[in-house]
Structure 1
Amino acid sequence: MPNKSLRILIADAQHFNRLRIERRFNQLGYFRVAPVQSFDELLPLVEYGCEPLDLVLVNGAMTNGALDLFNFLADNPQVRHGFIFNEQQAPLSPAPGKVQVSQAAVPDLASITQLMSAVDRPLPFVGTVISVR
């Protein structure tokens, strides 16, 4: 069962791409999805948000190489997980970690499902167990 409180941000200049990606998240039961169309819109949400974002998806072509997106997402405490798609410089076998990279122009449902298996892990139970007799 998906964690409906996860905060997801999608950054892509193309409205149609943002809509397709958001609908794929909706298909999986995630509805706290915010789409932005530029890096200028993404930056204040990531840098000045009061809560960390659980997942930030960014089209790698958005910054035109002016910024190292991988390190920006990996080093940012406001980003729990990052996913860069449409990245032409993507390594063929990226190391698992906080940020994943894909050469796909737009992530498909299968890649989003796989991504969410890493992002949406059940939290360990913390509390008191009460025994009823």
Structure 2
Amino acid sequence: MANPKLRILLVDEEHSRLLSIEKNLSGLGYSRVAPLTSLRDLLAILDNALSTFDLLIIHQAVLDNAGEVLEHSVRSSSAIKHLLVYQGNTLQVLSSVEFSPSPMRLSLPCPPDRESIRQVMGFIDSVDSHEVYGKTRVSV
């Protein structure tokens, strides 16, 4: 079952892809999705975040256009628990960060479809603890 409290950032410069992914997330029960069309907007949100976001879903082209320093800044941001970078079908687990109990760094070779989003969100939903509004919630 979807955890509707999960906070998700979604970044893609192509509006139709952005809407498609947002629609899939909404159809799976995730309503706290912030769709963004630029790296500038993402950086502003990350710089001013009062609590962490559970997932950042971002198109690789946005990171490629950012340059190495900004890409590293996004990938290592303490305001993001999990990261899904997509280009175009298989999930690959990338490196993790130390601040989160069960961080995930994933890569997709294509834009995520409903099934791949369902699989990723199923894992994130099942993580034993989430930081929600600055407090740790432990699932039992």
User: Which residue of 2 is the match for residue 99 of structure 1?
Assistant: 105
| Offset of residue 70 of structure 1 | 6.8
Alignment-mate amino acid for residue 63 of structure 1: L
| Runs (5+) with no aligned partner, structure 1 | 126-133
User: Which residue of 1 is the match for residue 113 of structure 2?
Assistant: 108
Deviates more, 1:35-44 or 1:60-69: 60-69
Of residues 121, 124, 127 in structure 2, which corresponds to 1:119? 124
Alpha-carbon separation, structure 1, partners of 2:71 and 2:93: 11
Alignment-mate amino acid for residue 13 of structure 2: A
Over 3 Å counting, the alpha-carbon distance change for 1:70 and 1:82 in structure 2 is farther
SS of the residue 2:10 aligns to: strand
User: Which residue of 2 is the match for residue 44 of structure 1?
Assistant: 44
TM-score by length of 1: 0.79
Alignment-mate amino acid for residue 52 of structure 2: P
1:76-129 deviation per Cα after TM superposition (whole angstroms, max 9, x unaligned)? 211011100117xxx98544742111111x11011101110121125423xxxx
Q: Name the structure with the higher strand share.
A: 2
Bigger CA radius of gyration: 1
Alpha-carbon separation, structure 2, partners of 1:59 and 1:19: 13
| Offset of residue 35 of structure 1 | 0.4
| Offset of residue 51 of structure 1 | 1.2
Q: Is the 8 A contact 1:82 1:99 kept in 2?
A: yes
Q: Is the 8 A contact 1:73 1:99 kept in 2?
A: no
Identity over the aligned pairs, expressed in percent? 28
Runs of 4+ in 1 over 6 A off after TM superposition: none
User: Which residue of 2 is the match for residue 79 of structure 1?
Assistant: 80
Alignment-mate amino acid for residue 87 of structure 2: N
Q: How many residues align?
A: 121
User: Which residue of 1 is the match for residue 22 of structure 2?
Assistant: 22
Alpha-carbon separation, structure 2, partners of 1:32 and 1:118: 17
| Runs (5+) with no aligned partner, structure 2 | 97-103, 129-137
Alpha-carbon separation, structure 1, partners of 2:7 and 2:82: 11
SS of the residue 2:68 aligns to: coil
Does 2:4 correspond to 1:4? yes
Alpha-carbon separation, structure 1, partners of 2:15 and 2:82: 23
1:30-62 deviation per Cα after TM superposition (whole angstroms, max 9, x unaligned)? 011110001011111122211111110111001
